[in-house]
Amino acid sequence: MTAYILRRLWQMAPTLFGVILLVFLLFNWVGGDPAYILAGKMSNAAEIANIRTQLGIDQPYYVQLGIFLKQVVTFNFGNSWATSEAVSQIILTRLGPSLTVLIPLTIIETVVAILLALWIAFKRGSLTDRGVLIACTVGMSVSILVYIILGQYVFAYKFGWFPVQGWGDNLAENLFKYSVLPILIALAVGIAPNLRLFRTFVLDEVNQDYVRTARAKGVTERRVKSVHVLRNAAIPIITHVMSNLPALLIGAFLIERFFSIPGIGREVILAVERSDFPVIKAITVYVAIATMFFNLLTDLLYKAVDPRVHFN
């Protein structure tokens, strides 16, 4: 396994370089000249030239690419153009709030979707199965904005069960007070597509020969579901969950924006609005790195779930 991990880490190098090169080209050729953005409307040629010198964008492209590579390796992307705060500090302070919401959400959403998928898959074609599928279709047709606005109005404003917005400095307070309603709303949004997908994974296994053989041997239905079917359906489920984890950090910007959660998603939106290129570039590269490492972790989980998987 060690040799496999080292080989996969080595294979990540060209992929990461391709991502870095693509980000560099996009921000230098498509993004425009940042000196004009920083100088503002009331500027002159001398100020623009001075800013270009400070940023190093008056250098040849290969020199700028070398600077960008050094920033990635040292995890030092300089300071934010909007707030003058270190980009690394921005990411570290924004990552905690995002994970406070996303980790419990991912665990609860995955467990609930798996349990419901196992339940309705063994009732395929029944009234319960059709009713759940109809409810999932309706739930997927409703915009997340409707869930957020309705949830804030009913559960926060009308009943007063949760705060409408806010974030504190204490982890327990954030987890059990400010994160509860965002997690419930995100769960209501994400459970329908996951349930439909996981149901399909389970149905692919229910009709296999090994399930009929287990039943013929007198294995209980609970064991058939929890051991035989679930273990074999776990591979595509793990693939789906792990591949979505990096995207969740960016995709949760609506939840973070409406609930004033100072997370990564909200920071990306603010950076785009401010044309804060250092923050956008850093988060883009870090998400790419996280995606590659989650892919590696997914392969390792395959082996833990299914001993038949071999690393070549």
Domain positions in the chain: 2-74, 88-305
Contact 261, 255 (CB under 8 A): yes
Contact 265, 250 (CB under 8 A): yes
User: pLDDT value at position 312?
Assistant: 63
- pLDDT tens string, the chain, 312 residues long: the values are 677 778 878 888 888 888 888 888 887 776 666 666 666 666 667 777 777 777 666 777 788 888 888 888 888 888 887 788 888 888 888 888 888 888 888 899 889 988 888 888 777 778 887 888 888 888 888 888 888 888 888 888 888 888 888 888 888 888 888 888 999 988 888 888 888 888 888 888 777 777 778 778 777 777 777 777 877 788 888 888 888 877 776 667 788 888 888 888 888 888 887 778 888 888 888 888 888 888 888 878 877 776 666 666
Q: In terms of C-beta distances under 8 Å and separation of at least 24 residues, what long-range contacts does 175-179 make, across chains too?
A: 175/100, 175/104, 178/259, 178/261, 179/100, 179/101, 179/104, 179/261
In degrees to the nearest 10, what's the CA dihedral of 301, 296, 106, 72?
Answer: 160
User: pLDDT value at position 31?
Assistant: 60
Task: In whole angstroms, give the CA distance from residue 30 to residue 24.
Answer: 10
**3 state DSSP class of 170:** coil
Cβ atoms within 10 Å of 212's Cβ, excluding its own: 12
Identity of residue 269:
I
User: pLDDT value at position 307?
Assistant: 66
Q: Which CATH number fits domain 88-305: 3.30.300.180, 1.10.3720.10, 3.20.20.100, 1.10.10.10?
A: 1.10.3720.10
Q: Which two tokens stand for residue 259?
A: 């609930």
Question: 15: buried, middle or exposed (CB in 10 Å: 19+, 13-18, 0-12)?
Answer: middle
Task: In whole angstroms, give the CA distance from residue 144 to residue 185.
Answer: 8
pTM (two decimals)? 0.79
User: pLDDT value at position 309?
Assistant: 64
Task: In whole angstroms, give the CA distance from residue 123 to residue 233.
Answer: 17
